[in-house]
Structure 1
Amino acid sequence: MTTTLITGASSGLGSEMARQLAARGEDLGLCARRTERLEELRTEITTAYPERTVSIAALDVTDDEAVFRVFRAFRDEFGTIDRVVVNAGLGKGAPIGKGRYDANKATAMTNFVAALAQCEAAMEIFREQRYGHLVMISSMSAFRGMPGAMTTYAATKAGVAALTEGIRHEMVGKPDLDIDVSVLYPGYIRSEMNEHVKNTPFMVDTETGVAAMVAAIEKRTAHARVPSWPWKPMGTAMRHLPLPLVRRLT
């Protein structure tokens, strides 16, 4: 039986990952700031799958001490944490120099600094138990610098991708540690974060997009652009095309 901890599980990609992983037979530790939504999600999942164990906890991932406390509490409750999905994130931001440093700082603190805390807490548990699976949810925006309101968001997603690769690099050549490290780059998947965005090409519904994410997670792949079409070739194009063309693509 696999036990998966998901942060930012109260809505969007996080809540749908919880549903789909439960359907695959996994027990869940779910955390987010909005506990009323977590309660509803737990009821939904345990009603559909009575044999599943779903534990919930309130967590603001920007509270470093709380991150370590909640992760350890889940570990103590379940006896083990097999997988941690670092999913909690913030999508707000503004063009640099336009007077909204507050929004950009909040995005940076939530998407990168808080992700670092989550990785520290997860890897502490995995190193102690000598196995585990760390999953980082990045974004296709990580492949190039993005303009306007996306600038800081894209930078944080590039940062967490590099952070994850560094952790994976450290695990190479350590046969005594059975720890896999994955980074996922979702393309346009409908969620609460982007529900106001209209007429976006290649946008897929939440269930379809998360199904691609869950399939990659279950394969324990090192990195995956999801859904693979069109984002696998698009990622290659984004890395190499001139910025004006990248802007037209995205």
Structure 2
Amino acid sequence: MEVLSTIADFRAARAKLGTLGLVPTMGALHEGHLGLVRAAKARCAAVAATIFVNPLQFGPNEDFSRYPRTLPNDLKLLEAEGVDLVFTPTVDVLYPAGFASRIEVGPIADRLEGAVRPGHFAGVATVVAKLFAITRPDVAFFGQKDVQQTVVIRRMVADLDVDVAISVEPTAREADGLARSSRNIYLDAGQRAQAPALYRALMAADSAWASGERNGDVLRDMMREIVEAQTDGVIDYVSFADPVALEEIDRAGHAGGVLSLAVRFGTTRLLDNHILS
């Protein structure tokens, strides 16, 4: 496994490889990331991962400075999975002096997470576009847990004619249903015990959908009531939205939609979602 920190070195190494699967990460790797690596290995001749905590996607009062950074352990995990290349740029490498460009992806970036975190998805789209340009992957792998991020990236790739396929893999979960996340380490014991209520709320709405419920307000209220009854968390939003435009659904047809929610436990925000079809 080669670990490379400059653009020139990565490009030289990538040129020696065939079909490349890319797993972009911010480090603090867990089983969800490793599942993406395995999916990439199953489809591609070679696999690259990137580890970069992207300052552009953090707001002024968010957790950029304390976001977990565990590079030595991350590299051990990636090597054990047989990753070929790891790109570990510094901020100065990706955003040198004078860097000023941003990629805006329109209204889908202003809803849900975008409404709570203005500018977040411009930061996401910008860094992902740069990583695609540097690494030149054939397929890039993302997890469904960050469902709005996958919608934004697909929009960006389509709009800018980026020659990369996007593969979205199922959310990795703990045994009790909690979506795996690097931020889960911030939860204290009480918060960790309450956190699976997010998944229970999604599954309750899924069951209602399977039984014929199509009223968006009913599904949203059901999720909200479960989280409020079973946790001390503060809800940022609950949503039942169109899977392409991410606009809220009043009454659904048979095409389904995306259930999602964001809940704060102290200073830690947890996200989860489930796709209805």
Q: Same fold (TM over 0.5)?
A: no
Structure with larger Rg: 2
- TM-score range for the pair, normalised by the shorter chain length: 0.3 to 0.5
